Amino acid sequence: MASLGGRACAGGPLFFMCRCCWARRVDCIIRCGLVIFGFCYGCLAPAFIYDVTMLRKWDGSRGRYQKVLAYSDFHDQLTAITQQVHATQSVHIDNLLKKVNKNSCKIIVEDLCAANDRGCASCGNFCVRPRGGILGGLTEKCQAAGASVCNVEYRFCRVTSLGPVFNAPSADPASFASTTMITMGALRDEIARTIGEIETYRDGSFLQNVHQKGVAAVKKKMNDFALSRENTVSVARYVGDHMRGGNKLEMLKDLLIFDSQLLDSKILHQIVTAADKELIVLFAGGSHCANVCGALEKMGYARVRSEPQKHDYLGAGVPKPLNLARVTF
């Protein structure tokens, strides 16, 4: 993984979006983006915010509440409504970045298009840079506004190597440069590094249990996929040898998203190690936000509000974009 020399996020060592949500995101990114050897190709990855939840917890030592504001992102195909909504929702985010107190606010994002908390933004010479969505490029927008931001994304090798195959499952995996040149060891290593980081967390008994269960489940799946035994094999060779028949897409999705619990742990760690911040803003996939908010409620955070109160749908399980003008901060 190439290092961009980025600075680690504050809050100690740095080192659950559900499976269907992450699969939709990957599908959208791959359909819209081009992965080219040695280059990052820009693309339009349509998306929108469909839910915002605020929680708070009283901090007696500081005599104030700490608030967590979670923006749930949904990735969809490019339609007229998502283009229009993206423009208006982007204005809301711009206004939020202008209004928040930069000294007492921390922003956490899930952004495949920017350096993460370890300074990594690619898998060797390969990267995917979708543009036009909500999450893609949000890290750089926050940095430009002078906000404290932490990008918890780490799955760059998975997306750059498996994405082309996921997009064209009938094609020869060896026809894609990234799939041929990235090894299964690179996929294993980006997961192992994240597990190693999570195993250093000391976030209290409740979260330690969450972290340990997530890590154990991911380690079992890594063993099932034989990532260590196949570490020198190219992703193209692995896919050709092990993923055939009518369930190929399901197997690819499983390999893309089986470690989603680790991202939840990274988000939760960033929150609990930012006790000095009065406001924490999270931008992530909707199921990640739901999982994180659920865990925080078990830790004493109270749900103050959620918008909308009840979700409406555009059809086929796609929620309606949220009118962010109703959301105050």
SS3 state of residue 318: strand
Q: Is 259 exposed, middle or buried (0-12, 13-18, 19+ CB in 10 A)?
A: buried
Which region among 22-36, 37-51, 167-181, 205-219 has the lowest average model confidence (pLDDT)? 22-36
Q: Which two tokens stand for residue 292?
A: 């994180």
Strands 105-109 and 279-285, bridge-based pairing:
parallel
Find tokens 């109160």 and name the residue: 309
Cis omega (within 30 of 0) for bond into 308: yes
Which region among 16-25, 154-163, 220-229, 246-255 has the lowest average model confidence (pLDDT)? 16-25
136/96: higher pLDDT:
96
- The pLDDT of residue 81 is 66
Find tokens 């931008």 and name the residue: 283
Q: What is the pLDDT of residues 79-119, one digit of tens each?
A: 556 677 888 899 999 999 999 999 999 999 999 889 999 99
SS3 state of residue 288: helix
Which region among 13-27, 116-130, 244-258, 289-303 has the lowest average model confidence (pLDDT)? 13-27
First to last CA, the chain: 37
Residue 99: CB atoms within 10 Å: 9
Calculate mean pLDDT across residues 183-210: 97
Residue-averaged pLDDT of the chain: 84
Q: What is the pLDDT of residues 25-58, one digit of tens each?
A: 444 344 334 443 443 433 445 578 999 999 999 9
